[in-house]
Amino acid sequence: MSHTTNPSFETLPVEIFHRIFDNLDAQTIVYSIRSVCRLFQRTVNTYNRYNLDFKSISKSNFHRFCHSINPQNVISLRLCDDEQTSNQIGLFMSSVRLRQFSRLHSISFLGITEFQLNMILKRMQLNCLTSFSLNIQQYDSRRRKTTLKFLSSILAHPRLRKIELNIKSDLIYNISWPTNTKIVHLTIDSDISFDTMLTILSCSSQLHTLVLKQNLPRRMYKTKQTFSFPQLTALTIENLNDTIDQLESFLLCLPLLIDLKLIGQNCDLDGKRCQQFIQMNLPYLNNFQFFIDIIKSNLQTRNDLEQIIESFRNPFWTEYKKWLVAAQLKSDPSPCIQIYSIPICKSVLRYESNSYNSYRSNSTILSSNDPLIIKNINELILPLKSSTCRIMNEDELATDTPRYFNVTKLDVTIDRRTILDSLKFLTSVIDVSKLVEVKLESFCFNKDNKTMLFEIVSILDQARSLSSLVVHSSYCKYELYPYLSRLCAIIPRQIKHLRMPANELNQIEVIFERCQNLSVIQFEITRTKFSLEVINWFNQHTADSAFRRHVGCDTIWIGTKKNLIKENHKRIKLDENQSDY
């Protein structure tokens, strides 16, 4: 009888485990896998391709990573200094040896100061850099020349292929762009000048993809056919606000364009005109996505809607290119006609019930409720009024499949006098179980809408992946104070980030005990004296927490929790730009 040998983890090559680790985040590798057994411990110890993403990390894990992982084993680094992770970049600089990061392929700085940027780039080795992302939060004119020198050096790096710049326009303008960069993918988050755009495109012979987060540069339409940039095959403009004439004058410079995405307003797309332009000037265009709000001074009607969509009902769109297009008349927040390709090409959408809009399409098959249309929507803005549920038809309320089935981020604006008999409409709109981030906002939470607030928060207990919850009153925060204790008692236990009003320490105690996974908490506090009490409370119950107060909101990046309250506690570290009251 032959015997088969049972496979064993111990017989597998280490590289197989390392290939698996390449698809996991660093926290899972270090804190979950490593502790399983000695084999996994040894395997993790020899792994040298860590991707460190510190954007939403807890304070305690941040410190553990800084002191436990060998910098030479890190190939990707993302640092973030925002309202939730106060002074993270400064703490990182003081906790690690920057010169030991010698194998970085990707670097991302979010919210860095110009001083910190100079200090880090001066010390880090960038020989392997292929991707670089930069968002400067605080500028320093004294360091401008040094910053420009570093940026020019990075752009000239022979291995660099992808770069994203979210910095001031004048800084981009003054960069000395290398004459022949190797960049393939460029994203620019700020407005840039006409001259800067021409410089970038002229110096980037290998640039295939350009993403503009803002509008086209002014005077760009004057280029006409004077310039040609055939290297560019993919263009995205996410805040388009130009006429169709101005847009076409720029597209004339891109004769080999294959992918085009346009998101914005006031660019009157006409199917027949677009067809003629594409056939004559963009023969290789294969993927055309757009979402445009057409806003007119005069009231738009269903006849206007029908006229627009009719221009897309011809064989060029429906048969040759197979580009499906829809349009609808919207009334909220302002009247407009929305025209878009199918599926919708942006991830954020404002909800409006069917009774407030009309839908037209060049497809004879797709209905307005077809899942294909909204499959890319993962963030929904939901204005909640007393009329919301009443105007939804019976089919919408009776459905077992939520309309926006891929939404993970929900922003609900609750009218101050909203009173609903049922929240069934909410589960007919989104799949609560998939929610990761939720914001509940009102001009004023009070006795009239508090019940709705409590019901929505209670429903969120079903969202097992929920990590962030914000409860925010724009004005009259004190009107929610009588109900805060009840709200604290139903906050979902699984969240890691919480923002809400607070006026008593016992509320903080309830939240701290209830939500064991909290890493960042933000309290909207109106009294400076209470802010001091909050600081003292966290001094007593945590070690090494970071505190920042900004525009009436106290943010605590929670450090290690103490088992026992100590009398002689450490002071909470403040951001370098903040003062300790």
Token pair listed for 468: 């962030």
Cα angle 109-115-117, degrees, rounded to a multiple of 5: 30
CA atoms within 13 A on the CB side of 49: 10
What integer pLDDT is reported at residue 78 of this predicted model?
A: 97
What integer pLDDT is reported at residue 538 of this predicted model?
A: 93
At 440-470, the pLDDT tens digits run: 999 888 887 888 899 999 999 999 999 999 9
Token pair listed for 25: 């985040």
Residue 80 lies in a domain: no
What integer pLDDT is reported at residue 35 of this predicted model?
A: 85
Token pair listed for 364: 């004879």
**Alpha carbon of residue 356 to chain centroid:** 29
What are the angstrom distances between the C-alpha of 575 and each of 57, 81, 98, 300? 17, 10, 21, 51
For the chain, helix (H) and strand (E) counts, in that order, are: 20, 25
Categorize the per-residue pLDDT at 428 as very low, low, confident or very high, splitting at 50, 70 and 90: confident
Q: Please say if the pLDDT value at position 522 is more than 50.
A: yes
Q: Please say if the pLDDT value at position 537 is more than 80.
A: yes
Token pair listed for 574: 């403040």
What are the angstrom distances between the C-alpha of 180 and each of 126, 177, 228? 19, 8, 16
Q: Please say if the pLDDT value at position 439 is more than 70.
A: yes
92 vs 36, higher pLDDT: 92
Q: Please say if the pLDDT value at position 31 is more than 90.
A: no
User: By three-state DSSP, how is residue 79 classified?
Assistant: strand
Which of 273, 94, 261 has the alpha carbon at shortest distance from 187? Answer: 261
At 539-560, the pLDDT tens digits run: 999 998 989 887 788 999 999 8
Residue 317 lies in a domain: no
What integer pLDDT is reported at residue 368 of this predicted model?
A: 83
Full residue range of the structural domain in which residue 30 is found: 7-47
3-state SS string over 257-324? CCEEEEEEECCCCCHHHHHHHHHHHCCCCCEEEEEEEECCCCCCCHHHHHHHHHCCCCHHHHHHCCCC
Query: How do beta strands 437-442 and 468-473 pair?
Result: parallel
Q: Render the burial of 152-173: b for 16+ CB within 10 Å, e for the rest.
A: eebbebeebbebbbbbeeebbe
- How far apart, in whole angstroms, are the C-alpha atoms of residue 573 and residue 539? 10
User: By three-state DSSP, how is residue 519 classified?
Assistant: coil
What integer pLDDT is reported at residue 388 of this predicted model?
A: 57
- How far apart, in whole angstroms, are the C-alpha atoms of residue 107 and residue 130? 9
334: exposed, middle or buried (Cβ count in 10 Å: 0-12, 13-18, 19+):
exposed
Categorize the per-residue pLDDT at 227 as very low, low, confident or very high, splitting at 50, 70 and 90: confident
- How far apart, in whole angstroms, are the C-alpha atoms of residue 540 and residue 546? 13
Q: Please say if the pLDDT value at position 384 is more than 60.
A: yes
Query: How do beta strands 325-330 and 358-361 pair?
Result: antiparallel
By the 8 A CB rule, do 294 and 265 touch?
A: yes
What integer pLDDT is reported at residue 577 of this predicted model?
A: 39
State the chain's mean pLDDT as an integer. 87
Average pLDDT for 424-433: 88
How many structural domains does the chain have?
Answer: 1
H-run or E-run covering 195: helix 194-203
Residue 29 lies in a domain: yes
DSSP H stretches of helix in 413-552: 424-429, 450-459, 484-488, 505-514, 528-541
H-run or E-run covering 174: helix 169-174
Tokens 């927040």 found at: 333
What integer pLDDT is reported at residue 177 of this predicted model?
A: 93
- How far apart, in whole angstroms, are the C-alpha atoms of residue 108 and residue 426? 37
By the 8 A CB rule, do 111 and 137 touch?
A: yes
Residue 104 lies in a domain: no
Average pLDDT for 284-307: 88
Return the percent helix, strand and coil in the chain, to nearest 5.
35, 25, 40
Lowest mean per-residue pLDDT among 66-70, 273-277, 443-447: 443-447
Residue 14 lies in a domain: yes
Residue 36 lies in a domain: yes
Q: Please say if the pLDDT value at position 391 is more than 60.
A: no
Taking residue 140's Cβ as centre, other Cβ atoms within 10 Å add up to 15
At 306-356, the pLDDT tens digits run: 999 999 999 999 999 999 999 998 876 677 889 999 999 999 999 876 544
Residue 415 lies in a domain: no
175 vs 331, higher pLDDT: 175
394 vs 431, higher pLDDT: 431
33: DSSP letter: I
Q: Please say if the pLDDT value at position 167 is more than 90.
A: yes
Tokens 């806003």 found at: 295
Residue 30 lies in a domain: yes
What are the angstrom distances between the C-alpha of 476 and each of 323, 427, 469? 49, 30, 20
| Percent of the chain residues topping a pLDDT of 70 | 89
For 74-142, the DSSP string reads EEEEEEE-SSSSTTHHHHHHHHS-GGG----SEEEEEEEEHHHHHHHHHHS--TT--EEEEEEEE--GG
What integer pLDDT is reported at residue 419 of this predicted model?
A: 59
178: DSSP letter: -
